[in-house]
Protein backbone atom coordinates (compact mmCIF):
# COMPACT_ATOMS: atom_id res chain seq x y z
CA UNK A 1 0.00 0.00 0.00
CA UNK A 2 0.97 3.62 -0.55
CA UNK A 3 0.36 5.30 2.80
CA UNK A 4 0.23 9.07 3.35
CA UNK A 5 0.93 10.13 6.95
CA UNK A 6 0.10 13.69 8.00
CA UNK A 7 1.50 14.92 11.30
CA UNK A 8 2.68 17.96 13.25
CA UNK A 9 5.54 15.94 14.72
CA UNK A 10 8.86 17.16 13.24
CA UNK A 11 10.09 13.84 11.84
CA UNK A 12 13.40 13.99 9.98
CA UNK A 13 14.89 10.56 10.67
CA UNK A 14 12.64 7.53 11.07
CA UNK A 15 15.38 5.55 12.78
CA UNK A 16 14.80 7.69 15.88
CA UNK A 17 12.55 6.34 18.61
CA UNK A 18 9.03 7.68 18.99
CA UNK A 19 5.42 6.60 18.67
CA UNK A 20 5.19 7.82 15.06
CA UNK A 21 8.65 6.82 13.82
CA UNK A 22 8.23 3.37 15.37
CA UNK A 23 4.89 2.98 13.58
CA UNK A 24 6.42 4.17 10.31
CA UNK A 25 9.16 1.55 10.51
CA UNK A 26 6.60 -1.15 11.22
CA UNK A 27 4.66 -0.28 8.06
CA UNK A 28 7.89 -0.35 6.03
CA UNK A 29 8.85 -3.73 7.50
CA UNK A 30 5.57 -5.07 6.15
CA UNK A 31 6.35 -3.83 2.64
CA UNK A 32 4.32 -0.62 2.52
CA UNK A 33 5.47 2.65 0.93
CA UNK A 34 5.31 5.51 3.44
CA UNK A 35 5.00 9.19 2.51
CA UNK A 36 5.19 11.54 5.50
CA UNK A 37 4.23 15.23 5.54
CA UNK A 38 5.68 17.31 8.38
CA UNK A 39 6.02 21.05 9.11
CA UNK A 40 9.24 23.01 8.61
CA UNK A 41 8.49 25.89 10.97
CA UNK A 42 9.50 29.43 10.07
CA UNK A 43 12.05 29.69 12.88
CA UNK A 44 14.23 27.04 11.23
CA UNK A 45 14.59 29.07 7.98
CA UNK A 46 14.21 26.00 5.77
CA UNK A 47 12.39 25.73 2.42
CA UNK A 48 9.83 23.09 1.51
CA UNK A 49 11.80 20.00 0.51
CA UNK A 50 11.75 16.20 0.21
CA UNK A 51 14.21 13.80 1.81
CA UNK A 52 14.36 10.03 2.19
CA UNK A 53 14.98 8.24 5.46
CA UNK A 54 15.34 4.46 5.64
CA UNK A 55 12.67 3.81 3.04
CA UNK A 56 10.28 6.63 3.97
CA UNK A 57 9.81 9.77 1.90
CA UNK A 58 9.48 12.87 4.07
CA UNK A 59 7.99 16.09 2.69
CA UNK A 60 8.86 19.02 4.98
CA UNK A 61 6.49 21.90 4.29
CA UNK A 62 7.44 25.47 5.14
CA UNK A 63 4.92 26.79 7.67
CA UNK A 64 4.52 29.48 10.28
CA UNK A 65 5.71 28.69 13.78
CA UNK A 66 3.24 26.31 15.38
CA UNK A 67 5.04 25.36 18.57
CA UNK A 68 7.06 27.48 21.00
CA UNK A 69 5.45 30.69 19.75
CA UNK A 70 2.70 33.14 20.72
CA UNK A 71 -0.97 32.12 20.57
CA UNK A 72 -1.73 34.35 17.58
CA UNK A 73 0.96 32.85 15.34
CA UNK A 74 0.19 29.36 16.62
CA UNK A 75 -3.51 29.76 15.83
CA UNK A 76 -2.92 31.26 12.40
CA UNK A 77 -0.23 28.71 11.58
CA UNK A 78 -2.53 25.86 12.58
CA UNK A 79 -5.35 27.17 10.37
CA UNK A 80 -3.02 27.57 7.38
CA UNK A 81 -1.57 24.07 7.66
CA UNK A 82 -4.16 22.31 5.52
CA UNK A 83 -3.67 24.77 2.66
CA UNK A 84 0.13 24.51 2.86
CA UNK A 85 0.11 20.71 3.07
CA UNK A 86 -2.39 20.42 0.23
CA UNK A 87 -0.36 22.70 -2.04
CA UNK A 88 2.86 20.79 -1.31
CA UNK A 89 1.27 17.37 -1.91
CA UNK A 90 -0.14 18.57 -5.22
CA UNK A 91 3.25 19.88 -6.27
CA UNK A 92 5.39 16.89 -5.28
CA UNK A 93 3.10 13.84 -5.07
CA UNK A 94 0.20 14.60 -7.42
CA UNK A 95 0.84 11.44 -9.46
CA UNK A 96 0.94 9.06 -6.50
CA UNK A 97 -2.21 7.10 -5.75
CA UNK A 98 -2.48 6.73 -1.99
CA UNK A 99 -4.37 3.76 -0.57
CA UNK A 100 -4.49 4.88 3.05
CA UNK A 101 -4.27 8.27 4.75
CA UNK A 102 -3.08 8.23 8.37
CA UNK A 103 -3.16 11.40 10.46
CA UNK A 104 -2.81 12.30 14.10
CA UNK A 105 -4.24 15.00 16.32
CA UNK A 106 -3.16 17.60 17.06
CA UNK A 107 -4.06 19.39 14.87
CA UNK A 108 -7.69 19.09 13.77
CA UNK A 109 -7.08 21.26 10.71
CA UNK A 110 -6.10 18.70 8.07
CA UNK A 111 -9.64 18.43 6.71
CA UNK A 112 -9.06 20.07 3.35
CA UNK A 113 -6.00 17.99 2.47
CA UNK A 114 -7.58 14.75 3.74
CA UNK A 115 -10.75 15.38 1.73
CA UNK A 116 -8.79 16.25 -1.41
CA UNK A 117 -6.51 13.19 -1.33
CA UNK A 118 -9.32 10.86 -0.26
CA UNK A 119 -11.47 11.97 -3.20
CA UNK A 120 -8.64 11.91 -5.77
CA UNK A 121 -7.26 8.52 -4.74
CA UNK A 122 -10.39 6.88 -3.33
CA UNK A 123 -8.26 6.26 -0.26
CA UNK A 124 -9.29 4.96 3.14
CA UNK A 125 -8.68 7.14 6.18
CA UNK A 126 -7.57 6.41 9.75
CA UNK A 127 -7.38 9.01 12.53
CA UNK A 128 -4.91 8.50 15.38
CA UNK A 129 -6.73 10.55 18.02
CA UNK A 130 -4.10 11.79 20.48
CA UNK A 131 -5.77 15.04 21.49
CA UNK A 132 -9.38 16.20 21.83
CA UNK A 133 -9.50 19.84 20.80
CA UNK A 134 -11.09 22.37 21.32
CA UNK A 135 -12.56 20.90 24.53
CA UNK A 136 -9.13 20.59 26.14
CA UNK A 137 -8.59 24.33 25.67
CA UNK A 138 -12.00 25.05 27.21
CA UNK A 139 -11.06 22.89 30.20
CA UNK A 140 -7.92 24.98 30.76
CA UNK A 141 -9.82 28.26 30.51
CA UNK A 142 -8.27 29.40 27.23
CA UNK A 143 -11.69 30.26 25.77
CA UNK A 144 -15.35 29.42 26.40
CA UNK A 145 -17.84 27.26 24.55
CA UNK A 146 -19.71 30.43 23.58
CA UNK A 147 -16.70 31.93 21.80
CA UNK A 148 -16.25 32.18 18.04
CA UNK A 149 -12.93 30.34 18.36
CA UNK A 150 -14.56 27.32 20.01
CA UNK A 151 -17.36 27.14 17.46
CA UNK A 152 -14.89 27.41 14.56
CA UNK A 153 -12.66 24.61 15.81
CA UNK A 154 -15.56 22.44 16.98
CA UNK A 155 -16.91 22.42 13.42
CA UNK A 156 -13.48 21.42 12.15
CA UNK A 157 -13.31 18.64 14.74
CA UNK A 158 -16.71 17.30 13.69
CA UNK A 159 -15.71 17.43 10.03
CA UNK A 160 -12.48 15.57 10.81
CA UNK A 161 -14.47 12.76 12.41
CA UNK A 162 -16.81 12.64 9.39
CA UNK A 163 -13.85 12.23 7.03
CA UNK A 164 -12.34 9.41 9.10
CA UNK A 165 -13.33 5.87 8.14
CA UNK A 166 -11.84 4.68 11.43
CA UNK A 167 -10.86 6.49 14.62
CA UNK A 168 -8.18 4.99 16.85
CA UNK A 169 -8.30 6.22 20.46
CA UNK A 170 -5.65 5.92 23.14
CA UNK A 171 -7.80 4.17 25.76
CA UNK A 172 -11.32 2.90 26.51
CA UNK A 173 -12.22 6.20 28.20
CA UNK A 174 -11.32 8.04 24.99
CA UNK A 175 -13.57 5.75 22.95
CA UNK A 176 -16.44 6.36 25.36
CA UNK A 177 -15.86 10.13 25.30
CA UNK A 178 -15.84 10.37 21.50
CA UNK A 179 -19.04 8.36 21.15
CA UNK A 180 -20.85 10.21 23.94
CA UNK A 181 -20.06 13.66 22.59
CA UNK A 182 -20.43 12.83 18.90
CA UNK A 183 -23.66 10.84 18.51
CA UNK A 184 -23.42 10.86 14.71
CA UNK A 185 -20.38 8.54 14.91
CA UNK A 186 -21.19 4.83 14.91
CA UNK A 187 -19.44 2.64 17.46
CA UNK A 188 -18.06 0.38 14.71
CA UNK A 189 -15.80 3.21 13.51
CA UNK A 190 -14.14 3.85 16.88
CA UNK A 191 -11.65 1.56 18.63
CA UNK A 192 -8.75 1.53 21.06
CA UNK A 193 -5.48 2.01 19.15
CA UNK A 194 -3.07 2.92 21.95
CA UNK A 195 0.21 4.79 22.07
CA UNK A 196 2.85 2.15 21.47
CA UNK A 197 6.57 1.61 20.94
CA UNK A 198 8.98 -0.85 19.42
CA UNK A 199 10.70 -2.85 22.13
CA UNK A 200 14.40 -3.44 21.74
CA UNK A 201 17.49 -3.52 23.88
CA UNK A 202 20.11 -0.83 23.40
CA UNK A 203 23.31 -0.37 25.33
CA UNK A 204 23.53 2.81 27.35
CA UNK A 205 26.45 5.14 26.71
CA UNK A 206 26.79 5.44 30.49
CA UNK A 207 26.55 3.20 33.46
CA UNK A 208 23.82 4.52 35.71
CA UNK A 209 26.19 6.07 38.21
CA UNK A 210 28.22 7.82 35.51
CA UNK A 211 25.23 9.61 34.02
CA UNK A 212 23.84 10.58 37.41
CA UNK A 213 27.23 11.96 38.42
CA UNK A 214 27.43 13.94 35.18
CA UNK A 215 24.04 15.52 35.93
CA UNK A 216 24.78 16.06 39.65
CA UNK A 217 21.99 13.69 40.71
CA UNK A 218 22.53 11.76 43.96
CA UNK A 219 22.90 7.99 43.82
CA UNK A 220 21.91 7.27 47.44
CA UNK A 221 18.22 8.25 47.18
CA UNK A 222 15.14 6.86 45.47
CA UNK A 223 14.92 8.74 42.16
CA UNK A 224 11.51 9.80 40.84
CA UNK A 225 11.52 11.25 37.33
CA UNK A 226 9.09 13.44 35.45
CA UNK A 227 10.02 13.71 31.77
CA UNK A 228 8.17 15.49 29.00
CA UNK A 229 6.18 18.59 28.30
CA UNK A 230 6.05 21.29 30.97
CA UNK A 231 2.90 23.09 29.86
CA UNK A 232 -0.53 24.06 31.12
CA UNK A 233 -1.99 20.57 30.56
CA UNK A 234 0.44 19.13 33.10
CA UNK A 235 -0.81 21.13 36.08
CA UNK A 236 2.64 22.47 36.94
CA UNK A 237 1.44 24.21 40.12
CA UNK A 238 0.73 20.86 41.73
CA UNK A 239 4.10 19.50 40.60
CA UNK A 240 5.75 22.42 42.40
CA UNK A 241 3.67 21.67 45.52
CA UNK A 242 4.97 18.09 45.43
CA UNK A 243 8.57 19.28 45.04
CA UNK A 244 8.14 21.59 48.03
CA UNK A 245 6.64 18.82 50.16
CA UNK A 246 9.47 16.48 49.22
CA UNK A 247 11.99 18.85 50.82
CA UNK A 248 10.90 17.40 54.17
CA UNK A 249 12.13 13.96 53.13
CA UNK A 250 15.69 12.65 53.17
CA UNK A 251 15.36 9.53 51.04
CA UNK A 252 13.72 10.70 47.78
CA UNK A 253 14.91 12.93 44.94
CA UNK A 254 12.78 14.29 42.08
CA UNK A 255 14.26 14.74 38.59
CA UNK A 256 12.26 17.05 36.29
CA UNK A 257 13.26 16.99 32.62
CA UNK A 258 11.51 18.86 29.85
CA UNK A 259 10.47 22.05 28.18
CA UNK A 260 7.25 23.85 27.40
CA UNK A 261 5.20 26.96 27.98
CA UNK A 262 5.41 26.64 31.79
CA UNK A 263 9.15 26.00 31.90
CA UNK A 264 9.83 29.61 32.90
CA UNK A 265 7.42 29.29 35.81
CA UNK A 266 8.95 26.14 37.24
CA UNK A 267 12.46 27.44 36.55
CA UNK A 268 11.63 30.54 38.60
CA UNK A 269 10.43 28.27 41.42
CA UNK A 270 13.78 26.48 41.42
CA UNK A 271 15.65 29.79 41.52
CA UNK A 272 13.51 31.11 44.36
CA UNK A 273 13.55 27.96 46.49
CA UNK A 274 16.91 26.29 45.68
CA UNK A 275 15.60 22.82 46.65
CA UNK A 276 17.99 20.12 47.85
CA UNK A 277 15.82 17.16 46.87
CA UNK A 278 15.02 17.93 43.24
CA UNK A 279 16.57 19.27 40.05
CA UNK A 280 15.34 20.78 36.78
CA UNK A 281 16.96 19.82 33.48
CA UNK A 282 15.74 21.80 30.44
CA UNK A 283 16.26 19.16 27.78
CA UNK A 284 18.47 16.24 26.83
CA UNK A 285 19.32 14.38 23.61
CA UNK A 286 16.87 11.50 23.14
CA UNK A 287 19.36 8.73 23.93
CA UNK A 288 20.67 10.52 27.01
CA UNK A 289 17.11 11.07 28.22
CA UNK A 290 16.36 7.37 27.74
CA UNK A 291 19.50 6.53 29.70
CA UNK A 292 18.43 8.87 32.50
CA UNK A 293 14.99 7.28 32.73
CA UNK A 294 16.60 3.86 33.03
CA UNK A 295 18.79 5.17 35.87
CA UNK A 296 15.77 6.30 37.91
CA UNK A 297 13.42 4.22 40.04
CA UNK A 298 9.90 5.64 39.67
CA UNK A 299 8.11 7.43 36.83
CA UNK A 300 5.78 10.40 37.32
CA UNK A 301 2.76 11.62 35.35
CA UNK A 302 0.94 14.88 36.09
CA UNK A 303 -2.22 16.29 34.47
CA UNK A 304 -4.30 19.35 35.28
CA UNK A 305 -7.32 18.36 37.38
CA UNK A 306 -9.68 20.54 35.31
CA UNK A 307 -9.65 18.24 32.31
CA UNK A 308 -12.95 16.71 31.26
CA UNK A 309 -11.26 14.87 28.37
CA UNK A 310 -9.31 11.65 29.04
CA UNK A 311 -5.65 12.40 28.26
CA UNK A 312 -3.24 9.45 28.10
CA UNK A 313 0.37 10.74 28.04
CA UNK A 314 2.78 8.70 25.91
CA UNK A 315 5.60 9.20 28.44
CA UNK A 316 4.05 6.26 30.29
CA UNK A 317 5.65 3.98 27.70
CA UNK A 318 9.26 4.78 28.60
CA UNK A 319 8.51 4.18 32.27
CA UNK A 320 6.93 0.79 31.59
CA UNK A 321 9.73 -0.16 29.19
CA UNK A 322 12.23 0.46 31.97
CA UNK A 323 10.23 -1.62 34.45
CA UNK A 324 9.42 1.38 36.64
CA UNK A 325 6.33 1.78 38.81
CA UNK A 326 4.43 4.97 38.04
CA UNK A 327 2.90 7.58 40.36
CA UNK A 328 0.15 9.67 38.77
CA UNK A 329 -1.73 12.82 39.73
CA UNK A 330 -4.42 13.53 37.14
CA UNK A 331 -7.97 14.67 36.55
CA UNK A 332 -10.87 12.34 37.33
CA UNK A 333 -11.78 11.60 33.71
CA UNK A 334 -8.68 9.92 32.32
CA UNK A 335 -8.37 6.17 32.82
CA UNK A 336 -4.56 6.11 32.84
CA UNK A 337 -4.48 5.93 36.65
CA UNK A 338 -7.23 3.34 37.16
CA UNK A 339 -5.67 1.11 34.47
CA UNK A 340 -2.29 1.34 36.23
CA UNK A 341 -3.76 0.47 39.62
CA UNK A 342 -5.90 -2.38 38.26
CA UNK A 343 -2.85 -3.96 36.62
CA UNK A 344 -0.51 -3.42 39.55
CA UNK A 345 2.09 -1.11 38.03
CA UNK A 346 1.10 2.27 39.41
CA UNK A 347 -0.64 4.41 42.02
CA UNK A 348 -2.99 7.27 41.27
CA UNK A 349 -4.74 10.21 42.90
CA UNK A 350 -6.45 13.39 41.78
CA UNK A 351 -4.13 16.28 41.00
CA UNK A 352 -4.24 18.68 43.93
CA UNK A 353 -4.47 15.98 46.59
CA UNK A 354 -1.04 16.56 48.08
CA UNK A 355 -1.49 14.44 51.20
CA UNK A 356 -2.44 11.33 49.22
CA UNK A 357 0.33 11.89 46.68
CA UNK A 358 2.97 12.09 49.39
CA UNK A 359 1.52 8.91 50.91
CA UNK A 360 2.10 7.30 47.51
CA UNK A 361 5.71 8.52 47.61
CA UNK A 362 6.08 6.97 51.06
CA UNK A 363 4.61 3.70 49.78
CA UNK A 364 7.20 3.31 47.01
CA UNK A 365 10.10 4.00 49.40
CA UNK A 366 9.19 1.26 51.86
CA UNK A 367 10.17 -1.86 49.93
CA UNK A 368 12.50 -2.09 46.90
CA UNK A 369 11.28 -5.62 46.16
CA UNK A 370 7.75 -4.27 45.91
CA UNK A 371 9.01 -1.66 43.46
CA UNK A 372 10.62 -4.35 41.36
CA UNK A 373 7.41 -6.39 41.27
CA UNK A 374 5.35 -3.37 40.18
CA UNK A 375 7.91 -2.60 37.49
CA UNK A 376 7.74 -6.15 36.13
CA UNK A 377 3.95 -5.98 36.02
CA UNK A 378 4.20 -2.75 34.05
CA UNK A 379 6.62 -4.27 31.56
CA UNK A 380 4.35 -7.28 31.09
CA UNK A 381 1.40 -4.96 30.49
CA UNK A 382 3.44 -3.02 27.95
CA UNK A 383 4.36 -6.19 26.06
CA UNK A 384 0.73 -7.32 25.96
CA UNK A 385 -0.90 -4.01 25.08
CA UNK A 386 1.45 -1.24 23.92
CA UNK A 387 3.75 -2.74 21.29
CA UNK A 388 3.99 -1.28 17.82
CA UNK A 389 3.23 -4.68 16.28
CA UNK A 390 -0.14 -4.72 18.03
CA UNK A 391 -0.97 -1.17 16.91
CA UNK A 392 -0.07 -2.09 13.33
CA UNK A 393 -2.43 -5.07 13.45
CA UNK A 394 -5.25 -2.95 14.88
CA UNK A 395 -4.98 -0.49 12.00
CA UNK A 396 -4.40 -2.96 9.20
CA UNK A 397 -7.20 -5.36 10.05
CA UNK A 398 -9.52 -2.90 8.31
CA UNK A 399 -7.56 -2.86 5.06
CA UNK A 400 -6.55 -6.46 4.38
Give domain status of residue 399, yes or no: no
Picking from 167, 193, 219, the residue at the C-terminal end of a domain is 193
What is the model's pLDDT at position 264? 94
| 330 and 260 assigned to the same domain | yes
| 81 and 141 assigned to the same domain | yes
Q: What is the CATH number of the domain that holds 370?
A: 3.40.50.2000
Give domain status of residue 178, yes or no: yes
What is the model's pLDDT at position 203? 52
Picking from 148, 170, 193, the residue at the C-terminal end of a domain is 193
What is the model's pLDDT at position 206? 52
Contact 98, 121 (CB under 8 A): yes
| 284 and 164 assigned to the same domain | no
What is the model's pLDDT at position 207? 58
Q: How far apart are CA 159 and CA 288, in angstroms?
A: 41
Q: How far apart are CA 199 and CA 201, in angstroms?
A: 7
Global confidence as pTM = 0.93
| 89 and 167 assigned to the same domain | yes
| 125 and 240 assigned to the same domain | no
| 80 and 166 assigned to the same domain | yes
| 88 and 151 assigned to the same domain | yes
Output the CA angle 33-35-37, nearest 5 degrees: 165
* SS3 track for the chain: CEEEEECCCCCCCCCCCCHHHHHHHHHHHCCCEEEEEEEEEHHHCCCCEEEEECCEEEEEEEECCCCCCCHHHHHHHHHHHHHHHHHHHHHHHCCCCCCEEEEEECCCCCHHHHHHHHHHHCCEEEEEECCCCCHHHHHCCCCCCCCHHHHHHHHHHHHHHHHCCEEEECCHHHHHHHHHHCCCCCHHHEEECCCCECCCCCCCCCCHHHHHHHCCCCCCCEEEEEEEECCHHHCHHHHHHHHHHHCCCCCEEEEEEEECCCHHHHHHHHHHHCCCCEEEECCCCHHHHHHHHHHCCEEEEECCCCCCCCCCCCCHHHHHHCCCCEEEEECCCCCHHHHHHHCCCEEEEECCCHHHHHHHHHHHHHCHHHHHHHHHHHHHHHHHHCEHHHHHHHHHCCCC
The number of folded domains in the chain is 2
What is the model's pLDDT at position 312? 96
* Phi and psi based region of residue 61 (left: phi greater than 0; alpha: psi -120 to 50; beta: remaining): beta
| 86 and 212 assigned to the same domain | no
| 230 and 269 assigned to the same domain | yes
Give domain status of residue 61, yes or no: yes
Picking from 193, 221, 243, the residue at the C-terminal end of a domain is 193
| 271 and 224 assigned to the same domain | yes
| 188 and 39 assigned to the same domain | yes
Return averaged pLDDT per consecutive 10 residues of the chain, 400 residues in all.
Answer: 95 92 96 96 90 93 85 86 94 96 93 96 97 95 94 95 98 98 97 95 61 93 95 94 97 95 95 97 88 96 97 96 97 97 98 97 92 97 97 95
Range of the domain at 309: 208-385
| 189 and 223 assigned to the same domain | no
Backbone angles phi, psi at 154, to 5 degrees: -65, -40
Q: How crowded is residue 385: how many other Cβ atoms within 10 Å of its Cβ?
A: 15
Give domain status of residue 245, yes or no: yes
Amino acid sequence: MNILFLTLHPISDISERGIYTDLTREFIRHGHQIYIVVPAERRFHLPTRIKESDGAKILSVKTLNIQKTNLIEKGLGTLLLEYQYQRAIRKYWENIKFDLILYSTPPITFNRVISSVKRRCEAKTYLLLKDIFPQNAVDLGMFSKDSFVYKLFRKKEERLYQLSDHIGCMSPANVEYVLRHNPSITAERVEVCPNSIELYGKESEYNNGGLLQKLNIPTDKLLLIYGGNLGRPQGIDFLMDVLAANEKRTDTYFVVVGNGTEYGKISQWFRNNTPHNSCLIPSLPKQEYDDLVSACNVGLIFLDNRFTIPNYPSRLLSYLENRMPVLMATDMNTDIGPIAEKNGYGLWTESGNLETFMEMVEFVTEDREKLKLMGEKGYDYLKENYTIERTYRIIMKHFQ
